[in-house]
Structure 1
């Protein structure tokens, strides 16, 4: 009987902790550059969305990626958080992402891409923050130079730049 009580307390404690963690995202202090909505576990607004400023995104697992793209000449060095790091912070493990740009162009991206490839939300190019003019503030970038099979129209269409929001389904 004592074992069942102890197990019950542990399960209750874990559910309370996970419930608290579900709202553990800090609030942005700078301009919001990304809003995530939909089926997310962790939020930081009253309307159950997650908003991020540049500083918050740069606190995630950030990597550098040297790659060519179909939209630029030569090799560029991009820097930004791994998409899978953002998914982890939001509590997303599967589903689809509708990634929307400032001009309302959108693409559907399987969450699996974040785990199968080193997809990043590029924020810097060649050591400089990406402006809207240079496909910023966020560019969903696949490792085109590292994985030749990513060089196809399906993946090119998923590579949204000037990202403003992501909806998780």
Structure 2
């Protein structure tokens, strides 16, 4: 009897642990602007993907980044969630993200970058929602002006704009 009780407690503990690991994300109420697929444990679709509308990204917590970029003149104020916040929200278990733009341009971004630097998923520029013509709706942005080591072609290629999807590989 003791053995059965002990096995039952172990099973319940494992079930509780797995519930902590995998959880459903809220469903979007607005237009979906980002789809995350692959090795993720937290989803909100029957197909096992995590889809986000703008408000869901805002709810991850907004971070401000004032920086210049190689693709713009001067310095702009960008705001959006940290890339690592998205990684945590979807329960990503990977070393690499494959990020795809609306025009199907893609880049591989090491997850390590999101913890080494405050990489943001910019959704606002100078207080306005980023439009497609302004590299929106989402732009992977590194803090170029705070770390001169980020001003190189490798990092520029990882700075995907007009993002539509991220595959966790």
CA shift, 1:95, in A, is 1.6
C-alpha distance 9-38 of structure 1, shift in aligned 2 (>3 A): closer
Unaligned runs of 5+ in 2: none
Matches within 5 A, 1:3-152: 5=6, 8=10, 11-18=13-20, 22-152=22-152
How many residue pairs get aligned? The number is: 166
| 1:94 CA drift (Å) | 3.2
Check conservation: 1:97, 1:167, Cα contact below 8 A. Answer: yes
Q: Is the 8 A contact 2:93 2:168 kept in 1?
A: no
* SS of aligned partner of 1:145: helix
CA RMSD of aligned residues (A): 1.8
Deviations 1:107-144 (A, max 9, x none): 00011111111000000000000000000000000000
Worse-matched range after superposition: 9-18 or 27-36 = 9-18
> How far did 1:24 drift?
2.0
Moved over 4 A (4+): none
* Unmatched runs of 5 consecutive residues or more in structure 1: none
3-state SS in 1 of match to 2:109: strand
